[in-house]
Structure formats: C-alpha cells, structure tokens
Amino acid sequence: MKYYDIDLKKTLSKKRMVGLLRLMKGYHWLYIGATVALAIATISRTGIYLIIRQFIDDVVLAGNYGTNLIRVILFFIGLSLLQGAFSFVSGWLASKTAESSTRRLRNYLFDHLQRLPYAYHAESKTGELISRATSDVDAINRFYGEQAIGIGRILLMFIVNFIAILQLNTRLALISVIAVPVIVGVSIFFFSKVSKAYEEYQEQEATLSSRLQENLTGVRVVKAFARQGYESYKFDQENWQKFKLGKKLLSIHSLFWPISDIICGAQMLTAFFVGAMMALNQEITVGTYIAFASLVIWIIWPMRGLGRLIVQTSTGMVSYSRVVEILKQDREPLNEGDYLPDGNVNGEIIFKDVCFSYEEDHPVLHEINFVCNPGDVIALLGSTGSGKTSLVNLLPRFYDADSGSITLDGVELTRYPRKYLRSQIGIVEQEPFLFSRSIKENIKYGVLRDVSDEEVIQAAKFAAIHDVLSAFPDGYETLVGERGVTLSGGQKQRVAIARALLKNPSILILDDSTSSVDTETEAQIRAALNKLMQNRTTFIIAHRIQSVMAANLILVFDKGKIVQKGTHEELMKQSGMYREIFDIQTRIEVELEKEISSVNV
Amino acid sequence: MSTFEEFDEKEYGKLTGNILGRLLSLLKPHWKWVVGFLLCIAAVSIIDSYTTFLSSRLIDEGIRAGNRQAIIRIVMIYASMIVFQASSAFGFIYLVGVLAERVRYDLRKRMFNHLQQLSLSYYSQTPVGWIMSRLTSDTERLSDVMTWGILDITWAIINISTAAVFMFIINASLAWIVLILLPLLIVIAIRFRKTILLFYRRSRKMNSKITGAFNEGITGVRVIKALSREEGNLREFSELTDGMYQASFKAAWLSALFLPTVQIISAATLGIILWRGGMQVQIGVMTVGGIQAFVSYITFIMWPIQDMARVYAQMQNAVASAERIFSLIDTEPAVKNRSQTVQTESIQGDIRFENVHFHYEENDPVIKGIDFLVKHGEMVALVGPTGGGKTTIVNLLCRFYEPTQGTIYFKDVDYHTMKLQDIQSRIGMVLQTPHLFTGSISDNIRYGKLSANDQEIEKAAKLAGAHDFIMQFEKGYQQDVGEGGNLLSVGQKQLISIARAILAEPELFIMDEATSSVDTLTESLIQQGIDRLMKDRTSFVIAHRLSTIKRADKIIVIEDGKIEEMGTHRELIIQQGKYYQLYTQQFRQELEAQYDIFNKQEPVEAG
C-alpha cells in the first residue's frame, strides 16, 4: 500500500463537493496553509496601498521627510516582500496538494482497475475507463490547483480590499461595489454560454479528426477509386464547419469582454469620481483617494474571471462523479481464503454438479461433472459458445460457480486465495496479449522472482521461438506492439508458451487453435506445447481431433452440457458427436486423394 | 514501462529567414485582418497607458488644484476612452480570433489536399498518428503564435513603450531608473517561461505514457490477473506518476514563483522611486499625481513582460511545428504524372509485366524481376506465402508504387506514360479488410460512382448480393454503418465493398480475398457477387480460397519476390511442386471448416 496511503474508496461521498474535499485527505493542512498564505499575501498587498497613503499624506504633503520617509519606504519594501513570498508559498502549497492528491488518485485508480473482478472488465468499455482514469483525473487536478484556489483568491481579494476601503470611508466602500453583482452575473451567464459553444467546437474538432483518420487509414480505397477530390471536398466541409463554430465562439467572446470592460470601467470611474469629489471637499485626504483608487481596481476587475471559474468547477464535479463510478466498485479479494498450502498443488480437480451463468436465466454451464487426476490431460471439444471457455475461466476464479462444487486436491476451490491459485495456473491463449515492452520482459512478465537471461533464452528455445527472436536486430530487447515489431499470431503464441514455461505452473490451460499458420510452424508449436504439458494437469480447448486423441479424458460440449466423455478409444466405440467429427477427418483425406487424382487423369 | 523517447519530436526550432518568409505568407491573403487587429490592439494598448496618465492628472489638476470642472472634464475623457477602448477590444478579439481560425482552416486544408496527392509509399512509412498531429496540435500551435502571439507581443511592446513615454513626460530622471530595470525583468521572465514550458511539456509527455499504461492495464487485465502481476504493475505505474508529479509540480511552483519575483524586483524599484520622487515633490519637480502614475505603471508592468516572455518561449515550439508542417507540405509524391503523358481512353487489353523489380529500401528487394502476360478478360490468381510479394505486385499494377526497374504495359503502352487518374479511375478494388467510411450504406456504395442515382445503387447492391441484408435494416440503404463500418459484420462489409466496385464499372478488377471466414450463406453470396464482377473483365485476385484459385485462367505462385510457378490448376498439380503443397494443405483446412459440425465461427478481425 505504499503507493497510496489511504483507501480512497472510504472517502467517497454522495455530495460531490464533500467527496472532492475528502479525496485530498492527508493534504488538508497543506491546502488550508495555501489559503492562509493567500490571505496574508492579499492583506500585504492591500497594506502596500495603505502605506502609499501614509507616504502621500504624512510624508509628501506634510513635508515631513527624514526618518518618516525611510520608515515608510522600509515598510513598503517589507510588505512587498511579504506579499511576494506568501503568494509563492500559497501557489506552492496549492500545487503540492493538487499534484499529490492526483498522484495518489492515479495510483489508486490504476491498482483498483487491475484488481476489479474480471466480470467488471468484460462489461466495460476500455475507452470509457481510460478517459475516466485520465481526463477526468486531470479535471479534478485543475479543480484543486486552479479553480478552487482561484475562486478563493478572488473572494479574498474582494473581502480584504473591501474591508480596507470600509476603514477608509464607508460611503466610498458602498459605491465601489454597486456593480459587482452585475459583473458576476454577466460573467456567469457568459461563461456558461461559452462553455456550450466551446463544447460544440470541441466536438467538431473530434469529428474533423476522425474524418482525417478515416481518410488516412482508408488511403488505399481512396486511391483505388481515385476519389482524392471527393475526399478533399468532404474534409473541407467539416473543416469549414469548424471554422464557423470557431467564429461563433469568438463572437461571444468579442461581445463579452468589451461589455464587461464597460461595466467594470463605469463602476471604476464612478468610484474615482465620487472619491475625487470627496477629496476635493476634503472629506478624505489625497492619500486616501490614491489608496482607494488602487484598491478599487483590485475589487472590480478580478470579478470578471469569477464566472469562468464557477462554470469550470462544474466540470470538476462531473468528472468527480465519473471517477466515483469506478472507485465505488468492489475489488477482487486476492488473498481471501483460509487454505494456503505450503508448496505446489498436485492438480487433482473434481467438478461436481457445477452450474454457472453470467446473467440470471441464461445458464452457460449446466451440471458439469468430471474427475481429473494429477497430470491428466483434459480435452474440451465443442462449438464456440458451448461453454468451454467459461469452464476454464472458473479454474483461476475469474468467475465463481453459481452452484455445485469444484475441488482442487480435495479442497474447495473457493477456499484457496485467488493469488495462490493463479500462481499455480498457466494460460496460453490463441491470440495471447503481449505488452508493449521488450520481448524479454514479456517472457519474464509472469515471474515475480529475478530471472537470468539464460533462463529466458532457455524458455524461448523450448518454445521454438528463439530463432525468430535472435533474427531481430535488437534480439530479445525488441519492442512488441505499436512502437516495435508486430508478431504474427503463431509467434505471439510461442512467446506466451515461453512465458508459461518460465512460470512453471502445476495446472495449464491451453487454447489449442493453430489456425492460419503454415504446416512447419504448426509442428513447431505442437512440439512446444507437448513439452509444456509434461507433468502438468492440462486443460485443452481443442478444435481438432489430432490434439485430443492423446488426452486422458475428452469432454464433448454442447450448449453448456457435457454430452460425451471418455478417452478417444471409448468415444470411438460410441455413436455420437465425437465419432462424427473423427469420420469427417478421415473423409477429408479420401476426398483429397480423389481430387488430386481427378486432375491427373 | 516501454520507452517512447525515440519517437519524441524536436521541440525547438530556429527561426530562419526562410521559415519567417513562409510563415508571413500564411497571413498574406488575410493582410487586411492583420492590419485591422494590429490597429485595434495598438489603440487598446495606448489607451491603457493613457488612462493611467489621466488618473494622475485627475489628482494634480483636479483634486490638488481644487478644480471641480477639471475633475468632471477628465472623468468625461476617461469615460470616452473606456468606450473607445471597449470597441477596439471588440475589434481585436473578433479579428484576431477569427483570423486564427482561418489560418488553421487554411493550413489543414492545404495539408489535407497535399496528403491526397502523396503516394502509398508515404503512408506506409509514416504513422497515421504522426500525420494527425501535424493537422491538429502543430496547426493549433502555429496558428496561435501567428495570431494571438503577434497580438500579445504587439500589445506588450506598445504598452511598455507608451508607458515609458508617459513616465518621461511626468519625470525623466525617474523614468530612466525604470528603463534600466526593464531588460533585467525581461531576461528573468524569459528564463522563467522557458523553464516552465519545458517542465510543462515533460508533464504532458508523462501524461500520454500514463494513458498508455492505463490502456494496457485494462486491455491486458486477463493476463495480468492470470499472472498475478498486480504489484509489479503498480510499482512500474507509480514510477510514471512520480515522474508526472515531479514535472507538473515543478512547472506549477515555478509559475507560482514567477510573478512574485517580478513583483519584488519592481517593488524595489518602486521603493527607490518613492524615495527620490518624494524628495522631488518638495522641490516642485514631481507631483503627487505623478507618483501615483509611477506606482501604477510599475505595478502593472509585469503583465506585458509576462506576455512577451510567454510568446517568446512558445515561439520556438511553434517554429518546430512549422518545420514539421512545411516538411509535410514539401514532400513530393513518389508517384506522379510524367511531364509528357499520353491520352488514354481505356486500359482494357493485354497486361504485361516486363522485368519488374521493386524495393522500398536499397539492398532489400521485394520484387526481384517478374515477367508475365495476361490476356484481356483473363482471371489471374496470385498465391503464395504471406510477405512473398503478392500485395506489392497488385500495388505496382495500380501504380500506387512504380517499379524501380522494368515496367508494366497496358495494351503495349508503358503505363509510366499514362496519367495516374486515367489508370486508377478504371480500376475496381475489393480489399481483404474492407474499409467503409462513416455514413450510410448508400453513401458507401456511391463511393464507386459519385453521380450514381438510387436505382443504380440498388442495382449494384443486387448484383453484389447485398440487397437482401440491406433491406433487413430498419432504414435500408440509409442505415448508418458506424465508424469504419463497425456496425456491420465483416461479411456485410465485404458485400458492400463488392457493390461499390460493381458500381464503379471498372475495366480492371483487383481483389484481395479475405482470409477470415464468414458464414456459409454470406460466403456464397460473396462468391456470386465476385463472379458477376469478374465476368468479361481482366482480374487479379490475391486468392486464399480453393474455389477461386481453381477457376483462375492463370495461377501465379509468388514466393520471395519471384515467380515460383505459373500455369493452370491442372498443370501445376501435375507438376507436384509448391502449388501442389499449398493446395493440399488448403484443401484439408477448408474441408475441416466446411464439415465442422460445431459450425465453428472464429473471431474475425474487423477491418
């Protein structure tokens, strides 16, 4: 837990504002510090103007130079330093809070996502999850670092300067804020309009991008039909639409700023005028007028920005709700379970009356019964959707059965901690997922101990992929994926076999589909698989007779049920699906013979 | 995590005369707008400084002199200034903002149109993402600096200069003090801005790595769970977030340090000025209003300085963007019309490859001398292992690439002498992974012939065997196919792409047969559609299915860039060579699939 110090799930709140504040738990004092520093900085700046007032009244106009002058200037510089230092401290603390909270949130979200049950991932859209974990977290970061503190800054400026003017003269103070509600109102109205126009503009940007992307990825079609002109025309339409939306956005901006300029300017000038008149009538001193004229600027103009910040905070809130959708999910308890053997499992697996469904009333597995002895090879045969994959998903507890019992070495599967269980099981899929890192790292991926290069090479040799890998310019360091090499399905599969070999599990799950590889590669993969299966309890999801013939037990699946089970010899004696499949294989050879000879005639 | 560094792009460019010239030429068509916004911003900027000056006169001529009329007069002037300034602000925001959009529009349009001319080789060497960023982020950055950047700099320079002028009018000796200080402030500001930008960009980069890590963590979650990699992954991920934290936090606190630094320096200056200025009031050289004006000028001088520094820092990035954009625009199409071209009415007739060689990179030949003749109306099947050169041959035939040696003749005319448009507009193509465009089914079929009416489209769809499934959709031909056609199945996409090719009525038909299996009904529909297309047309098929191969008039076995065997099915079977091997292997696989009582449906790749 050193990557995040608290369980963020416990900070969740239905009230979004409360939730956002609780999300920065542990950094509250920093944030309060930031606010206090901000207040000190603001007060200091106001103090500067009050010093200038003294300077004018007590020094310049009183003709009282000497120690008074020095004192006032020292005060002036001192306050300036104070103001500068504390506004820096405030910014430092606020960004520390924002960045620390978001770092913790990112780490937590990443861990949370990889620890959520597989079922959650199977139902979620990847793009949606990513955007919540990235853009929405950025929005929360901005909420802390810019919006909340920004609103605080404007409000503090208003309060402090208002109080200062109030001290100078009550009437002046009231006159200087007449238009403030109008300014804030106009600003909120405007920025909510702008944010709508901006959204439209952004959407058009996305449309334009996908238009472009479509053109680039479909370049062969474009060229094949010589449609360059048409493509330019279509792109231009979207491009022009974006220009028009941009223009609309700009029109709103170009109205708001001058209008608010005039309102703020009128308010400021009114204050100047009244102040000047009062100074003329000697109701206030000249120094007071000068201080007032400066303070009033700090009250009025920042108010224009308040609308923007207030409108933006709603984005932060929406993002928070979206992140909460992920945070509130329950993690898969990896270490939960009361039975933890010392060494490895033997691999005796018994299914008894196992039923399973993803959704209620749609049973996927129905009363599955079979016994598998340690070291056995169990072959699962059947069409897509007949339940083979669902059955093997139960073994590493990606899902748990609804009813019935699965025991491993005589102990209920649910009593084993998932983490231990998974350490005992290796999976080689048909199109295995490789990570965009080096091939070496991919092979070492599942092994938590340190692995020497020799071991990696040994595993690769066993998996019959060493020759392919050494032929790459960067060898085992070659990157996989978008930014490196693209491996073929067969090559990926062999990397996964090497990965499984290094892991050395007691139980193995294989998806034995070697489609779309040439005969030679198929033979290599088969040999590699055979090595891998030695001394392990193996479940093969099979697509061909050849790979099941040697199995200790063949389970033939149809619509979630086991319709036949036995060895190859036993099943051959029965009539049923298995023998039909076998007959087809023989028939193919006969037909091939016929086909070839027909040509030769 | 993986290293993305090698793909990092140059961040800073040097502004050369050449680039500057080209940049300015972007604005040239819109010079009236430029002049307009420059005038408006100049007005805004001058008024900014002038109103401060007015404030000081309000004190001296009004309050200090006890002149009520003067106060009213100055306030009236001030008010008219505010109105004038507001209307100038309206002008510059509108002008510069719309201009920025316009420059973006122009740049994107120019790049996109140029991209359409570039050859396939450009696309095979350039990642889509790279091109996309030229048209998005680089375009944004460049147009911003060229418009808002120029605006900000103009504002800042005029603002500082006019403020300086007023300060000199008020009190020259004090103004000198400020003037000496200015360069120091500017240098500090620029250094700050550059460093902040550096860390900001570093944080953006970390952010995209974090996105990548999330992507992998989510798509690979099954493997992660199976291999219990959670802790290791979190450790690696936390390195990324640490990096992000370092960069963002530093950028943030440097920003927080920037203004106070500038403020403290100006406060120190102000201290000197108050001291000397205060003394000068005594001897009547300085007025109280003058002091107030100095206070304002110096307090607000941080804004133009900050803007100048920001634009200066962004400028270097923008130049790097400009270099990339220009490099795209300057790329010459690898395949283009010769200076002398012949008029081509038709490409129907015999097609002859003569000693055709091709390579992408020197010393790595892909096609190593190919000769063959195809008679008009023949169907040619290209077979052989992946990577052997079949697709390259087809690309050469379409003149997406040109042979590096040798040539191809259509009706005894060297195709290099023909116009690209003349060749490519007469070719119909069905790709292995059919690519559809966002829009309706009807739009996608119409792509084959833009002028086609609805009857023609329906006719083509019927010939392709697509009509029936189209009519099952709620909106029929107007049904949306989704992005890249992802709302349709692979088989449906193939049928639509066949209809598209039929509508184009090509003289030469090329097909890259799909390897992915579709259900039997669709499969036979596809076959029928293709048969109709191939009738009376010369056609080339990169063939994967035996039924297609066996029907070919000529089978060419391509391996390692050379013709290994060539002939009819019968001839090649008797020969018992490469083709024989391929055939028997394929025969087994097809029958297995065909007889499969599970009705096995393999997951098919979406194209």
Q: How confident is the model at residue B4 (pLDDT cuts 50, 70, 90)?
A: very low
Residues of B with Cβ-Cβ distance to A115 under 8 angstroms: 230
Helix (H, G, I), strand (E, B) or coil at A441: helix
Q: Report residue A217: phi and psi, to 5°.
A: -75, -25
Name chain A contacts of B482, Cβ cutoff 8 Å: none
pLDDT digits (tens, 9 = 90+) for A299-335: 998 988 898 898 889 889 999 999 999 999 999 998 9
Strands B508-512, A363-372: pairing kind = unpaired
Question: Cβ(B413)–Cβ(A194) under 8 Å?
Answer: no
Mean pLDDT of chain B: 88
CATH number of the domain where residue B267 is located? 1.20.1560.10
Q: Which residues of chain A have a CB within 8 Å of the CB of B425?
A: 225-226
Better pLDDT: B75 or B428: B75
Q: Is the pLDDT at B607 greater than 50, yes or no?
A: no
- The span from the CA of B547 to the CA of B381, in Å, is 11
Looking up residue A114, the CATH number of its domain turns out to be 1.20.1560.10
Would the CB atoms of A106 and B244 count as touching at under 8 Å? yes
User: Distance between CA B100 and CA B22 in Å, rounded?
Assistant: 16
Strand order in the sheet with B554-559: B427-430, B508-512, B538-542, B379-383, B554-559, B562-567
Q: Average pLDDT in the B349-365 region? A: 89
CA dist., res. B513 & res. B544, Å (int): 6
Of B93, B588, B598, the CB nearest to A383: B598
The chain-wide mean pLDDT, for chain A, equals: 89
| A67-115 vs A303-327: helix crossing angle, rounded to 10 | 30
Q: CB–CB of A383 and B447 under 8 A?
A: no
Q: Is A119 on the interface with B (CB under 8 A)?
A: no
Q: Say yes or no for a CB contact (<8 Å) between A77 and B267.
A: yes
Chosen domain end from A291, A311, A327: A327
CB pairs under 8 A between A and B: 417
Residue of A nearest to B112 (CA): A232
pLDDT at residue B516, rounded to an integer: 59
* A383–B contact, CB cutoff 8 A: yes
CATH number for position A586: 3.40.50.300
Interchain contact, B218 vs A130, CB within 8 Å: yes
Distance from CA of A18 to the nearest CA of B (A): 24
Asked whether residue A386 is domain-assigned, the answer is: no
Sign of the CA dihedral with A136 first, then A140, A145, and A150 last = positive
Which of A395, A424, A420, A588 is closest to A503 using CA atoms? A424
Contact A254 B97 (CB under 8 A): yes
Q: How confident is the model at residue B604 (pLDDT cuts 50, 70, 90)?
A: very low
Q: What is the pLDDT of residue B602?
A: 40
Q: Give me the residue from B226, B253, B271 closest to A73, CB to CB.
A: B271
**What value does the mean pLDDT take over residues A123-134?**
88
Contact state of B264 with A81 under an 8 Å Cβ cutoff:
yes
For residue B232, being part of any structural domain is answered with yes
Decide which of A287, A311, A327 is a domain's last residue. A327
A583 in contact with chain B, both atoms CB, cutoff 8 A: no
pLDDT score, position B68 = 94
Q: Which of A44, A57, A90, A114 to mutate to test the interface with B (most CBs of B within 10 A)?
A: A114
Taking contacts as CB-CB distances below 8 angstroms, the residues of chain A near B288 are 56, 60-61, 286, 290
Strand partners, B399: none
Indicate which of A68, A130, A217, A257 best probes the interface with B, i.e. most B CBs within 10 Å of its own CB: A130
State the pLDDT at residue B341. Answer: 87
In a domain, B554, yes or no: no
Reported as a single tens digit per residue, the pLDDT across B195-220 is 999 999 899 889 989 998 998 899 88
* Interface mutation vs chain A, best among B30, B51, B99, B112, most A CBs within 10 Å: B112
Q: Which of A113, A481, A519 sits opposite B585 (nearest CB)?
A: A519
In a domain, B3, yes or no: no
Q: Which residue of A has its CA nearest to B591?
A: A588
Nearest to A255 by CA among A328, A181, A197: A197
Specify if A71 maps to a domain: yes
Residue in B263, B425, B427 nearest the CB of A84: B263
SS3 call for A81: helix
Mutate to test the interface with A, among B238, B250, B516 (most CBs of A within 10 A): B238
A489 to chain B, closest Cα gap in Å: 12
pLDDT of residue B162: 95
How many Å apart are CA A400 and CA A360, to the nearest integer?
14
> CA-nearest residue of chain B to A429?
B223
Q: B115–A215: do the CB atoms touch at under 8 Å? A: yes
**Sole residue written with tokens 């066996």:** B550
Q: Residues A10-27: pLDDT tens digits? A: 899 888 999 999 999 999
The token duo for B280 is 């000068």
CA dist list (Å): A181 to A167, A186, A300, A541, B301: 22, 8, 10, 71, 29
Mean pLDDT of B492-515: 87
CB contact under 8 A, A134 and B210: yes
Task: Assess whether A301 and A429 both reside in one domain.
Answer: no
Domain, as residue range, for A567: 376-381+425-600
Give the tens place of pLDDT for each residue, A462-510: 888 898 888 888 889 988 876 667 787 778 888 998 998 898 899 999 8
pLDDT for res A515: 52
Q: Which domain holds residue B195?
A: 11-330
Confidence of residue B601 (pLDDT cuts 50, 70, 90): very low
Which residues of chain B neighbour A449 with C-beta distances below 8 Å? none
Give the pLDDT confidence score for residue A518 in this predicted structure.
62
Chain A: residue whose CA lies nearest to B299: A294
**Facing residue for B230 by CB, picked from A111, A481, A544:** A111
**Closest Cβ opposite residue B102 in set A61, A118, A243:** A243
- Residues of chain A with Cβ-Cβ distance to B437 below 8 Å are 214, 218
Q: Give contacts of A 66-105 with B, CB under 8 A.
A: 69, 72-73, 76-77, 80-81, 83-85, 87-88, 90-92, 94-96, 98-100, 103
Structural tokens at position A457: 């090479």
pLDDT band, very low/low/confident/very high, at B434 (cuts 50, 70, 90): confident
Say if residues A323 and A368 touch (Cβ distance below 8 Å): no
Q: Cα–Cα distance between B132 and B115 in angstroms, integer?
A: 11
Q: Find chain A residues with C-beta within 8 A of B101's C-beta.
A: 242-243, 246-247, 250
The pLDDT-based confidence of B603 (bands split at 50, 70, 90) is very low
Domain co-membership, A288 together with A435:
no
Q: Do A112 and A247 belong together in one domain?
A: yes
Lowest-pLDDT range of A486-495, B66-75, B393-402: A486-495
Residue B445, C-beta contacts closer than 8 angstroms, at least 6 positions apart: B452, B457, B460, B461, B477, B496, B499, B500, B503
Band of residue B515 on the pLDDT scale cut at 50, 70, 90: low
Domain-located, residue B273: yes
- Which chain A residues are Cβ-neighbours of B598 within 8 angstroms? 382-384, 386
Whether A419 is in a domain gets the answer no
Closest in B75, B117, B259 to A273, CB measured:
B75
Per the structure, the count of domains in chain A is 2
> What is the b/e burial string over A43-69, where b = at least 16 CB atoms within 10 angstroms of the residue's CB?
bbbbbbbbbbbbbbbbbbeeeeeeeeb
Total domains, chain B: 1
Binned at pLDDT 50, 70 and 90, residue B595 comes out as low
**CB-nearest partner of B588 from A85, A518, A588:** A588
Q: How many alpha carbons fall within 13 Å on the CB side of residue B139?
A: 25
pLDDT digit string, tens, across residues A575-601: 888 888 788 777 877 888 887 787 765
* DSSP code of residue A56: I
The predicted model scores a pTM of 0.84
Whether A174 and chain B come into contact, CB under 8 Å, resolves to no
**Mean pLDDT to the nearest integer, B578-603:** 68
Contact A261 B89 (CB under 8 A): yes
Residue A235 lies in a domain: yes
pLDDT > 50? residue A514: yes
Residue in A with minimal Cα distance to B516: A516
Give the pLDDT mean for B550-562: 90
Which residues in chain A have their CB less than 8 angstroms from residue B128's CB? Answer: 213, 216-217
pLDDT, tens digit, 9 for 90 and up, residues A30-81: 999 999 999 999 999 999 999 999 999 998 888 888 788 889 999 999 999 9
Nearest C-alpha neighbor of B406 from the set B343, B352, B344, B337: B352
Q: Crossing angle, helix B172-219 and helix A67-115, to 10 degrees? A: 10
Whether residues A319 and A457 share a domain: the answer is no
Determine the longest span between alpha carbons in chain A, in angstroms.
127
Quick one: pLDDT band at residue A288, thresholds 50, 70, 90? very high
Element (H, E) at B73: helix B68-117
| pLDDT tens-digit map of B533-546 | 888 889 999 988 78
Tens of pLDDT, residue by residue over B380-389, are 999 987 778 8
| Residue A404, pLDDT score | 94
Decide if B216 is inside a domain: yes
Q: Are A398 and B222 in contact (CB < 8 Å)?
A: yes
Q: Which of A327, A358, A390 is the last residue of a domain?
A: A327
For residue A398, is it within any domain? no
In a domain, A358, yes or no: no
Place of tokens 């063959």: B372
Confidence of residue B598 (pLDDT cuts 50, 70, 90): low
Contact of A195 with chain B, judged by CB distance below 8 Å, is answered with no
- State the pLDDT confidence band at B517, using cuts at 50, 70 and 90: low
pLDDT-above-70 percentage for chain A? 97
Distance from CA of B266 to the nearest CA of A (A): 9
